[in-house]
Structure 1
């Protein structure tokens, strides 16, 4: 999987464990970038034996202030 996660468009990523399981929050520069990543990630998760997941919950972000 060398370079697998090197997908353009990812601005921010974090993950945490909740009572419901793993929660991942990503910020993408476009819905197309997210779609491109998911088209690679979902088959890889299936191949690795993870349970099937539905489509990600998304919302628009109107402003992002990157820390420099």
Structure 2
């Protein structure tokens, strides 16, 4: 689960294979809603106060 700077929660799936590591299902919606562009920087910080695994996402625009 990702939490954007507006505190909205976004369910995403983490996918890992020998050829790919990244987010799938839900990532495109997160990108579109937060108007991310190539060159923007996202820092994921694990939120230990949540009951489930949630990453607070800090976005720095290019």
More helix by share: 1
TM-score (norm 1): 0.32
TM (norm. structure 2) is 0.34
Highest CA radius of gyration, 1 or 2? 1
The higher relative CO (CA closer than 8 Å, separation ≥ 6) is in: 2
